[in-house]
Amino acid sequence: MSIRSELITELLKNKGDYISGEALSKKMFCSRNAVWKAVNSLKAGGFEIKSSTKLGYKLMSVPDIPDEDTVKGFLGAFGDTVDITVLDTAASTNDSVKELAAQGAKEGTVVIALNQTMGKGRLGRSFYSPRNTGVYLSILLRPDIPLSECLMITSAAAVATAQAIEAVSYKKALIKWVNDIYVDGKKVCGILTEASTDIEVGGLSYAVVGIGVNISDPPGGFPDELKDKVGSVFGKGPAVSRAELSAEIIRRFFALYKNLPNRDFLKEYADRSLIIGKQISVINGGESREATALEIDKNCRLKVRFLDGSEKWLSSGEVSVKPVNMKG
């Protein structure tokens, strides 16, 4: 952990209170002069820190830019287990991580971009990723699971991201099967998991889970074709720093991922469902049928009842669903 990250972690622990240079130097095992230098470096980077000769340092605010040190500062000790790169611009952070994976990067490699020029969504769609108003991040995983289990990665990411959004915004975050997160009736987040198989070993070589969250409305609003169904967590109001939200997502995702095979998070996944008990359209190929969403099982399949009374378990690869009376 860099000295800047360590200082951020310590200042965050005392946010709103002063902590003395001496106490910081003891906690960080460095000289008071090194603390002073790191404080100045943070101030130069946009951190608002009050300094008092008697009382020490008090963190007032964190800049919005999610640089590596700041995200790691929010992650605290857990930050040592991940390898974070922040890019100004990526075509797609999923593709950036795939390139790193091909070079042998380890599990826990994370790429965050301030904007994406070719953000990818599910089913070959694009993901609108304007500069500075969202978190666009991808995480490299090397799990020892069959390809069929990859859906669990997406589901765990959906629960973790919904938790993270709620933790920073106090707004209810619901999951629309299978990988969209809604706040105040609009989609604020999409998740795309991509996997690479190893033909020789006959299993998964790696998986990349990519998460895009719209934090604020873009200055000119969302494009016309999106604005009815897509929104942001904080709208036009003051928003949380992207570094904090990124760290919340990463930490909460890995907490669920380490117990992925036991699928405990699926209970919360179902509890957060936007559609259970509601009328939905089931879209398969070009065809759309109305149904009621009934339940989600341990394989993250969705049970629906069609208008003719017949029931069916749906798998995410085959169909997508859209709440009736709701844009999405």
Determine if 157 is a binding residue for ligand BTN (CB under 6 A). no
Which of 119, 130, 143, 328 lies at the binding interface for ligand BTN (CB under 6 A)?
119
Establish how many alpha carbons lie within 13 A of residue 51's alpha carbon, considering only the half-sphere containing its beta carbon: 11
Q: Smallest distance, Å, CB 208 to ligand BTN?
A: 8
Cβ distance to ligand BTN smaller for residue 39 or 84:
84
Cβ atoms of residues 19 and 6 within 8 Å: no
Cβ distance to ligand BTN smaller for residue 76 or 212:
212
Residues 206-245 that bind ligand BTN (CB under 6 A): 210-212
Which of 46, 63, 121, 235 lies at the binding interface for ligand BTN (CB under 6 A)?
121
Pairing of strands 134-141, 203-214: antiparallel
Total number of residues binding ligand BTN (CB under 6 A)?
A: 20
Cα dist from 95 to 38, 139, 143, 182, 248, whole Å: 34, 11, 19, 25, 23
Residues 6 or more apart from 37 whose CB is under 8 A from it? Answer: none
Look-up: residue for tokens 């091909």?
Answer: 102
Which of 5, 9, 70, 92 lies at the binding interface for ligand BTN (CB under 6 A)?
92
Cα dist from 192 to 50, 136, 239, whole Å: 41, 11, 24
Q: Smallest distance, Å, CB 10 to ligand BTN?
A: 30
Q: What is the CA radius of gyration of the chain?
A: 21
Burial class (CB in 10 A: 0-12, 13-18, 19+), 317: exposed
Determine if 249 is a binding residue for ligand BTN (CB under 6 A). no
Determine if 316 is a binding residue for ligand BTN (CB under 6 A). no
Q: Smallest distance, Å, CB 91 to ligand BTN?
A: 8
Determine if 110 is a binding residue for ligand BTN (CB under 6 A). no
Cβ atoms of residues 173 and 181 within 8 Å: yes
Look-up: residue for tokens 């798998």?
Answer: 315
Determine if 133 is a binding residue for ligand BTN (CB under 6 A). no
Cβ atoms of residues 326 and 185 within 8 Å: yes
Determine if 190 is a binding residue for ligand BTN (CB under 6 A). yes
Determine if 63 is a binding residue for ligand BTN (CB under 6 A). no
Determine if 27 is a binding residue for ligand BTN (CB under 6 A). no
Of 9-17, 88-96, 98-106, 229-237, the segment contacting ligand BTN by CB under 6 A is: 88-96
Determine if 79 is a binding residue for ligand BTN (CB under 6 A). no
Which of 70, 93, 232, 273 lies at the binding interface for ligand BTN (CB under 6 A)?
93
Residues 135-154 that bind ligand BTN (CB under 6 A): 136-138
Q: Where are the beta strands (DSSP E) in the chain?
A: 48-52, 56-61, 83-90, 109-116, 134-141, 174-176, 180-183, 186-198, 203-214, 279-284, 287-296, 302-306, 311-314, 320-323
Which of 26, 43, 106, 125 lies at the binding interface for ligand BTN (CB under 6 A)?
125
Cβ distance to ligand BTN smaller for residue 139 or 240:
139
Cα dist from 13 to 8, 10, 56, 149, whole Å: 9, 5, 14, 37
Of 80-88, 131-139, 252-260, 263-271, the segment contacting ligand BTN by CB under 6 A is: 131-139
Q: Which residues contact ligand BTN (rule: CB under 6 A)?
A: 92-94, 116, 119-122, 125, 127, 136-138, 180, 190-192, 210-212
